[in-house]
Amino acid sequence: MTHTHCADRAVSRPDGTALLLDVHRPAHAERLPAVLYVHGGGWGRGDRTTDVDKRVLPLVGAGFVVATLDYRLAPEHSYPAPVEDVIAAGAHLRSAADRFGVGPEAVGVRGSSAGASLATPAALRRPDLFKAFVHYCGPTDLYASASRSPMEAFLLGDPIETAYLGGPGGDCPERAAAASPLRHAGQGARPSLIVHGDRDRITGLADAEAPHQRLSRAGSESTLMTVAGAGHDDPRFDQPFVRAATAAFLADALG
């Protein structure tokens, strides 16, 4: 596959650092729909080069412009900073649509694992920026997943969500609820594709079923795809049929 790649500086954050984007596109001149890809990594690892070969270039090969971003990481930065970075990157992608060869009304967002817990609330909060969203195996009820009994905390340690939230879910319930994609899933949401493994022992299948049901009840177009035998962010998600379903959903939603 022949494609072009450019690095871009989207905005200056409140702390003065730059929000950096990489933009990948097929090597031809026509305007194309765009997808902002938000990497996983437990909110504390990864950068805009994460998952490029596995998740970004296949979408480029399917005919999309794909942008990746460096969002602010935990524990130095907690909610809502990384969600604000996703929103800022989406706004920049639309504003620079002519430069990137993107249809400004055809921008979606896709996240995996922790990245999905950033991409999805960004899309739900700003449907004016994102025309569709794809959610791969991310937690959607952070109050529940970040809360543990004293015995659970003793045996298992602090949940990984603690650094992102700035404390255990039980100690900051309002922040945990506000950060949860489930809280924002309601009327007026853009079309969504939710992909989850039925053997995910990190983020249970209920984290996919609950937002799908809430979105559907509110009248939004939501599709839930369960991948048999797949664990958390499993290589099975990169099988041809899952990639094809994701690309087909985005082509239809952004077309």
- Rg of the chain (C-alpha set): 17
User: Contact at 8 Å (CB) between 141 and 182?
Assistant: yes
What sign has the CA pseudo-torsion 165, 166, 169, 174? negative
Q: Quick check: 172 pLDDT over 80? A: no
User: Contact at 8 Å (CB) between 196 and 224?
Assistant: yes
Express each pLDDT in 193-240 by its tens digit.
999 999 999 999 999 999 999 999 999 999 999 999 999 999 999 999
Express each pLDDT in 72-104 by its tens digit.
999 999 999 999 999 999 999 999 999 999 998
Which amino acid is located at 4 in the chain?
A: T
Q: What is the pLDDT, as a whole number, of residue 156?
A: 55
How far out from the chain centre does Cα 111 lie?
A: 2
Express each pLDDT in 122-139 by its tens digit.
999 999 999 999 999 999
Q: What is the pLDDT, as a whole number, of residue 154?
A: 45
Tracing tokens 């984007």 back to the chain, one arrives at 21
As a whole number of angstroms, the distance between CA 226 and CA 158 comes to 29
Sorted by where each starts, the structural domains of the chain and their CATH numbers stand as 3-141+180-254 (3.40.50.1820)
Mean pLDDT along residues 136-164: 74
Confidence of residue 9 (pLDDT cuts 50, 70, 90): confident
Model-level pTM?
A: 0.93
Express each pLDDT in 26-45 by its tens digit.
987 789 999 999 999 999 99
As a whole number of angstroms, the distance between CA 48 and CA 11 comes to 15
User: Contact at 8 Å (CB) between 205 and 168?
Assistant: no
**What φ, ψ does residue 25 adopt, rounded to 5°?**
-150, 155
Nearest to 250 by CA among 28, 23, 35: 35
Give the CA distances from residue 243 to residues 20, 154, 222, 246, 247, in Å, rounded to whole numbers and listed in that order: 26, 40, 17, 5, 6
Give the CA distances from residue 39 to residues 110, 111, 212, in Å, rounded to whole numbers and listed in that order: 9, 6, 21
For the beta sheet containing 18-26, the strands, ordered from the edge strand earlier in sequence to the opposite edge, are 3-12, 18-26, 65-69, 32-38, 102-112, 133-136, 192-197, 222-227
Confidence of residue 65 (pLDDT cuts 50, 70, 90): very high
Q: What is the pLDDT, as a whole number, of residue 157?
A: 59
